[in-house]
Amino acid sequence: MTRRLEGKVAIVTGASRGIGAAIAAAMVREGAQVVLAARKIEPLRAKAEEIGPGAHAIACHTGRDDAVDDLFAATFERLGKVDVLVNNAATNPYFGPLMNVEWSAWRKTFEVNLEGYFRCARAAARHLLGRRAPGSIVNVTSVLGQMAAPLQGVYGMTKAGVISLTQTLAAELGPSGIRVNAIAPGLIETRFSQALTSNPKLVASIEERTTLRRIGRPEDVAGAALFLASDESSYVNGQTLAVDGGWTTT
């Protein structure tokens, strides 16, 4: 074990399960103190206990300004600082033709997937700028933010917005030593994607197009997040790293 994040403090949103939980666990193994954030505290506490020392549970609805402020204030009180932010919390309440989406589902998707990312990124950046400290912000987007997303159009639009947000913040914050990058997963086997992964025909078609001939696991994304959070990526800024088994190469 290399302890690549020794002495670092990280916040990971959407961390009670799936990709976020895998990223948090990997960061703790690499020496970081990690705040696991999500809306419901009980699953967070259970996951933090499972991960072990170094994992801290703090409930937060990233779609609300006051909740994000409270998340960072609680982190500062408990751990003194933040060096790394992983924006991972996401929602996808509507699956179907874009023309039929209800405004309530549209607004909810943008609130969590894009506005929430910006709220957390701005809070982290302001803290790092105030400390005059370098840092890393990692935004989990999707390959659906880089192409047409039939039946998931609103989700795809928010993820495209995350890529644009990543590039702009990287340009604006880079001179201060704050790096901002993104990870674009393909299909990853989580509860969030269960509507897709539970369809054998759909999974088979995706595996056939994927050059590695399998769908992804949360741990596949965690490895990329570790790289972007650590000093190993100290000259990487404004980039979107596809973690999709080669799906976008075909």
**Mind telling me the catalytic residues?**
155
Of 55, 87, 89, 60, whose CA–CA distance to 72 is shortest?
60
Q: Which residues contact 223 (CB under 8 A, 6 or more apart)?
A: 26
What stretches of 63-198 adopt beta strand conformation (E)?
84-87, 135-140, 178-185
> Residue 176, exposed/middle/buried by CB under 10 A (0-12, 13-18, 19+)?
middle
What is the C-alpha to C-alpha distance for residues 117 and 110, in angstroms, rounded to an integer? Answer: 10
36 φ/ψ angles, rounded to the nearest 5 degrees: -95, 120
Contact of 33 with 61, CB cutoff 8 Å? no
Partner residues linked to 12 by β-bridges: 36, 86
161: number of Cβ within 10 Å:
18
**How far apart are the C-alpha atoms of 95 and 60, rounded to whole Å?**
25
Report the run of H or E that residue 188 belongs to, with start and end.
none
Query: Contact, 174 vs 165, CB < 8 A?
Result: no
